[in-house]
Amino acid sequence: MPVLSGLYGQHGRGAAAVLTAALIALLLALLPAPAAAADEGPGWTVRPAGGGSAGRDARPYVYLEGVPDSVLQDRISVTNPARTPLTVRLRGDGRAGPWLRFAARTVTVPARTRADVPFALALPGNATPGDLAGEIVATAGGGAERRVPVRVRVGGPALAALTVEDVEVSGGTVRYALVNRGNTPLRPRLAVRADGVFGVLLDRPERPLPLELAPGRRVELTEPWPDAPALDSVTVRLRVAAEGGARGEGVASAAYVPMAPVAGGGLLLGALAVLGTGAYRRRRTRGEPQASTLPPASAIPAPAVVAEDGRSPRHPGPLARTGAES
């Protein structure tokens, strides 16, 4: 019995060791491996700095507000949870992108570290009052990108101004240009009217155009007129309006004349001119004496000769008949 008891005890201790090893292996398999995941996956982030940037109170975007010719400053946080250093390149994008300047365009963040990078946005003196957007783009060595939205509000008085230029009527098309002369974006609305000799030919009520006109932008457009008149003298008037009280007007005139009747009329006028010229020449010819109708020279009386004493001398006869007088 003592021998059997010893053998049984040894087998029990071996089974317990096997069970313990199996439980440890199972627990290790269930536990995550954060270090390996951080090395293999893109775990780095870029966010606006401050405001609990690592939690749910993080700012969703960078918000800046100022007047033209001013410099606005803020920071972004680059977080690297991996075991190796992280190098990123920073740049600006969007409408506000050209105005962004960074303390360093290339930033190397050590392993398991967060780096706060200052940046500035320099508003130019001719910046348009209103809201505009941009982005801060961070690019890692492998090509992965992170973007931080940037919202900018530019203060100052808003000016809405719109002009209609270079209006031209050609056949069934009206060409014109719209120019935003103010400092705010505009969504123009257009009304068209055409008046002829005998009344209104076209009257289109105001309608929105499918475009947004940025400050300083010029765009060339066309307005179709498929039922333009064949014979008339018209005046086309374009009126535009936009938010903020912006209004503009452009006018052009055109003459519609059929080409075939014009060609026939030209031939008719030419024929009338030829006939008229011939008739004038005939009348002039009839008014001038012809050489065959002139009287002979012998029939023309000689000029009268008056003597010094006032008496008329005798008219001499033909010399061939009377001869010379003594």
What's the pLDDT tens digit per position in 163-177? Answer: 999 999 998 999 999
SS3 at position 216: coil
For the stretch 197-213, pLDDT in tens is: 999 999 999 999 999 99
Share of the chain above pLDDT 70, in %: 64
- Write down the residue that tokens 């000016």 correspond to: 159
Type and span of the H or E element at 241: strand 232-242
Please compute the mean of the pLDDT values over residues 149-159 and round it to a whole number: 91
Type and span of the H or E element at 20: helix 2-30
pLDDT the model gives residue 126: 82
For the stretch 72-109, pLDDT in tens is: 999 999 999 999 999 999 999 999 999 999 999 999 99
Cα dist. 10→16, 160, 172 in Å? 10, 96, 107
pLDDT the model gives residue 183: 82
Mean residue pLDDT of the chain comes to: 77
Residue pair 212/185 in contact (Cβ under 8 Å)? The answer is yes
* pLDDT tops 90 at residue 16: no
Q: Which residue, among 286, 167, 272, has the nearest Cα to 223 in the 3D structure? A: 167
Q: Which residue, among 127, 85, 90, 126, has the nearest Cα to 105 in the 3D structure? A: 90
Q: Using 50, 70 and 90 to split pLDDT, how confident is the model at 315?
A: very low
Alpha-carbon gap, residue 224 to 164, rounded angstroms: 17
Amino acid at the residue 167: V
pLDDT the model gives residue 55: 56
pTM given for the model: 0.49
